[in-house]
Structure 1
Amino acid sequence: MTPFTLPRNSIIHGDCLNAMRTLPSRGVDFILTDPPYVTRYRDRSGRQVLNDDNADWIEPAYAEMYRLLKCNSFTVSFYGWNSIDRFSAAWAKAGFRMVGHIVFRKRYASSRGYLARHHENAYLLAKGRPDMLSRRVIGDVIDMPYTGNRLHPTQKPVAALTPLIESFCPQSGIILDPFCGSGSSLVAAQQQGRDWLGIELDPNHHRIASSRLAGEMEEAA
């Protein structure tokens, strides 16, 4: 398909691979995303995440993200620790460099196995050589308040995403989240005065995110 002009402040409903392939190259200033972890996750109420049962999307999705991102810019991607080999291979093949690792510290255990899991992880990925001097440097441990997962089975708190946007996206920039879920990353972008573009496959989560962002935009008007 022929790419069209990059839409701003909207959420596309559909498969992110199909959607990203229609977008113009090097039009995004920052990517912040929490993709499926490939763990077949199911929460206590039985809710699941679409495409969490296969890894087929990982390599082509990050290849598209790399194409869409401007040169000398950043991506922050959450990942599943038990699938890091798949994620890191896809990042490297796409052209990303891993330039930092972020731990999101929880005061509660989200699950228990051999260990009680009190944190989540994300990698800071670079395309090219971003300037290290023109932005606010943040720490690599960020507190993650509990959201209650009311809107999504793996809902991230806006407060934990805000410093990432402040540090890694220019004030006039646009943020892309190809797996936007309930829209927390987009809410954080809206609250920080950045433009945003989300993509979500699940129709229910797309409705939730769209309603949530409409409310944020109405408040800002």
Structure 2
Amino acid sequence: MSRLMQGDCVEIMSRFPGEAVDFILTDPPYLVNYRDRSGRNIAGDKTDEWLQPACDQMFRVLKRDSLMVSFYGWNAADKFVGAWKAAGFRIVGHIVFAKPYASKSAFVGYAHESAYVLAKGRPPLPASPLPDVMNWKYTGNRHHPTEKPVSCLQPLIESFTTPAGIVLDPFAGSASTCVAAALSGRRYVGIELLPEYHAAGQRRLAQVRRAMQSPAANDELPEAA
């Protein structure tokens, strides 16, 4: 079962059975009303009415004794932490991805991305824990205005799941998590609200499937696929 779905993630997840997925890796809107240089924006990035319902559903569909890794907007950290805890998650780790560039400068240059590691129940510890500071590779944001690099997501999936696991991304964007799961040999379910990013994700996944079926013709899968 691997699928990239288009629609509202709260409504779609409400139809999933409880404790159906093994790991959640997601990059929700940061609540900053972001718009890139070309004018692209992200649904749900202005207001937070979706935040608690989405967290409640993510907790419900995640298996007991499992993990979620979620990126977040640092200037809305109180809202994210409050929603995660209200849903039932425990904070068990924090990861900083160091960028080789500053995406914006104000009082300081913004040269990192952050994600929390959140637990439902008591997940087992990984055999070889990842460092909590990792390098970031710029994607060019070709498919999505806040596209996350597959090279950062794949180690998380491989550390926190087994090959039989199902990875969920309710805010899939252009499907970077799904691409990383596919390359890791995991099943995935992605959900994206906006049709244009869902279509971009479908194209990326089709390219990855072709490359994996014909490895002799593909010496290396492109980072952003």
TM-score normalised by structure 1 residue count: 0.94
Query: Partner residue of 2:157?
Result: 165
The answer on 1:126 being equivalent to 2:119 is yes
Determine which of 62, 72, 85 is the counterpart of 1:69: 62
**Are the counterparts in 2 of residues 135 and 168 from structure 1 also a CA contact under 8 Å?**
no
1:93 is paired with a residue whose SS is helix
Equivalent position amino acid for 1:95 in 2: G
The answer on 1:139 being equivalent to 2:142 is no
Equivalent position amino acid for 1:78 in 2: F
Query: Partner residue of 2:187?
Result: 195
Distance in 2, matches of 1:131 and 1:35, equals 26
Distance in 1, matches of 2:41 and 2:121, equals 36
- What whole-Å deviation, never above 9, does each CA across 1:198-217 have from its counterpart, x for those lacking one? 00001000000011112212
The answer on 1:48 being equivalent to 2:33 is no
**Equivalent runs, 1:109-120 vs 2, <5 Å:** 109-120=102-113
Distance in 1, matches of 2:75 and 2:186, equals 33
Query: Partner residue of 2:223?
Result: none
Equivalent position amino acid for 1:175 in 2: V
* Alpha-carbon offset, residue 156 of structure 1: 0.6
Structure 1 unaligned segments of length 5 or more: list them: 1-7
The answer on 1:11 being equivalent to 2:4 is yes
* Alpha-carbon offset, residue 220 of structure 1: 2.2
**Which runs of at least 4 in structure 1 moved beyond 2 Å after TM superposition?**
218-221
1:53 is paired with a residue whose SS is coil
Distance in 2, matches of 1:72 and 1:217, equals 31
1:156 is paired with a residue whose SS is coil
1:160 is paired with a residue whose SS is helix
The answer on 1:35 being equivalent to 2:28 is yes
The answer on 1:80 being equivalent to 2:67 is no
* Alpha-carbon offset, residue 173 of structure 1: 0.2
Aligned residues: 213
Query: Partner residue of 2:146?
Result: 154
1:30 is paired with a residue whose SS is strand
* Alpha-carbon offset, residue 218 of structure 1: 2.4
Distance in 1, matches of 2:193 and 2:128, equals 33
Structure 2 unaligned segments of length 5 or more: list them: 214-225
**Are the counterparts in 2 of residues 36 and 50 from structure 1 also a CA contact under 8 Å?**
yes
* Alpha-carbon offset, residue 46 of structure 1: 1.1
- What whole-Å deviation, never above 9, does each CA across 1:73-116 have from its counterpart, x for those lacking one? 00000000011111001100110000000001100001111111
TM-score normalised by structure 2 residue count: 0.93
Equivalent position amino acid for 1:215 in 2: Q
**Are the counterparts in 2 of residues 136 and 166 from structure 1 also a CA contact under 8 Å?**
no
Distance in 2, matches of 1:12 and 1:188, equals 16
- What whole-Å deviation, never above 9, does each CA across 1:117-154 have from its counterpart, x for those lacking one? 0001000000000111x533110011111111111000
The answer on 1:175 being equivalent to 2:175 is no
Distance in 1, matches of 2:20 and 2:140, equals 34
User: CA-atom RMSD, angstroms?
Assistant: 0.8
2:134 is paired with a residue whose SS is strand
**Are the counterparts in 2 of residues 102 and 122 from structure 1 also a CA contact under 8 Å?**
yes
Identity fraction in percent:
51
